[in-house]
């Protein structure tokens, strides 16, 4: 069997989805396990302190839902769009902290807390780009599948 562009695209979507599952799954778990630390740091955020409770509970919950959506085949595209949205929010937040904040609280999971803020911005930007690529490829797959139906 020859490897086609369609196979490469499908494999690429799956790899990116797995990477996003690992990212969101681990960060949701880390925030849940270290909830007090996450909650406390949110209270120090110049942009989020007014929403501390909502963000503290909502962020890991949304990350967990997105993780599940990426795993389930029928909801994978929704999960990819949600990934783009979350990564856009997280990347924008880091940009705002770097450029407009007097204090930069660490709200990262344990795996990312050793990165500088600039490195974290690049990391998030890379995952945002990957999520965008996966959305485009998945949309093309679905469109091709619809066009090939009798």
Q: Which pLDDT score, from 0 to 100, does residue 110 have? A: 65
Q: Which pLDDT score, from 0 to 100, does residue 76 have? A: 97
pLDDT digits (tens, 9 = 90+) for 24-71: 999 999 999 999 999 998 888 888 889 999 999 999 999 999 999 999
pLDDT-derived band at 12, boundaries 50, 70, 90: very high
Number of C-alpha atoms within 13 angstroms, CB side, residue 101?
18
The domains of the chain are located at: 5-143
Query: Residue 17 contacts by C-beta under 8 Å, 6 or more apart in sequence?
Result: 70, 71, 76, 79, 80, 134
Q: What is the pTM of this model?
A: 0.90
Q: Which pLDDT score, from 0 to 100, does residue 5 have? A: 87
Mean pLDDT of the chain: 90
Query: Residue 114 contacts by C-beta under 8 Å, 6 or more apart in sequence?
Result: none
Q: Which pLDDT score, from 0 to 100, does residue 97 have? A: 86
Q: Which of the two residues, 1 and 94, has the higher pLDDT score?
A: 94
Query: Residue 22 contacts by C-beta under 8 Å, 6 or more apart in sequence?
Result: none
Task: With CA atoms as reference, report the closest residue to 90 among 116, 67, 68, 122.
Answer: 122
Number of C-alpha atoms within 13 angstroms, CB side, residue 22?
9
Q: Which pLDDT score, from 0 to 100, does residue 150 have? A: 59
pLDDT digits (tens, 9 = 90+) for 84-128: 999 999 999 999 988 988 777 766 666 677 888 889 999 999 999
User: How many Cβ atoms are within 10 Å of 148's Cβ, its own excluded?
Assistant: 7
Q: Quick one: average pLDDT of 123-134?
A: 97
Q: Does residue 2 register a pLDDT over 80?
A: no
């Amino acid at each position: 069997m020859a490897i086609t562009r369609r196979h490469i695209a499908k494999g690429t979507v799956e790899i990116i989805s797995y990477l996003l599952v690992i990212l969101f799954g681990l960060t949701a778990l880390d925030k849940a396990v270290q909830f007090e630390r996450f909650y406390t740091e949110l209270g120090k955020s110049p942009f989020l302190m007014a929403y501390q409770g909502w963000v503290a509970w909502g962020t890991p919950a949304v990350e967990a839902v997105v993780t599940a959506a990426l795993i389930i085949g029928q909801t994978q595209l929704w999960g990819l769009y949600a990934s783009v949205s979350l990564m856009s929010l997280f990347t924008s937040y880091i940009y705002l902290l770097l450029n407009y904040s007097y204090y930069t609280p660490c709200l990262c999971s344990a795996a990312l807390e050793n990165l500088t803020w600039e490195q974290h911005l690049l990391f998030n930007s890379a995952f945002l780009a990957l999520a965008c690529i996966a959305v485009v490829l998945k949309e093309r797959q679905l469109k091709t599948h619809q066009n090939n139906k009798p």
